Structure 1
């Protein structure tokens, strides 16, 4: 049990990255799209691979939720827009697969940003 907790802790710490592109990006959003593609291509992923993939998906969901809330203007005291209707998990996965396949050198966060822009334009 201690080894499992220690392994997860080390794995989590290894995903903490800070982008050097002028924007701070914490966590798996700073990984590359190639990481996503490689994880999704594995036919027999390890426990750590499955965990990282889930973390990356969760990071995107959190980004979409936060960006949707920010867009409302509620933090400024005046609601200007409704919360966006966010895509389901399958739609997000398909979008990330397509974006990252075409942009493997891009940071993963750019897939989330592009997805948000596309979702915003459909709402």
Structure 2
């Protein structure tokens, strides 16, 4: 099983950051909550800070666990661990994604999300 962290990053306007997977990557063209694989001995919070700095050149502050989703992509089993996070700063520069958007939770259904992220989309829309 592969453990992966995902950040539900909010801004002052009540929007959430989503990103579209780059062409050539697994789940290409699908939207997701940004994050990445948790390294050995790394906390979810440390992983998210590192991944968002590497992938988007931004600083975030993960502050609260949101949910966990176990999902299988064929024979690959992932555990996706989502944390709520605050956007701290930095200008978004994409390295692992083709696009990003700040969207209100009520708009999430308009984007085709990677299957492992769908549980979080549903949970966020229930809180609107």
Q: Tell me which structure has the larger Cα radius of gyration.
A: 1
* TM-score after normalising by structure 1: 0.28
Q: Higher strand fraction: Structure 1 or Structure 2?
A: 2
TM-score (norm: length of structure 2): 0.28
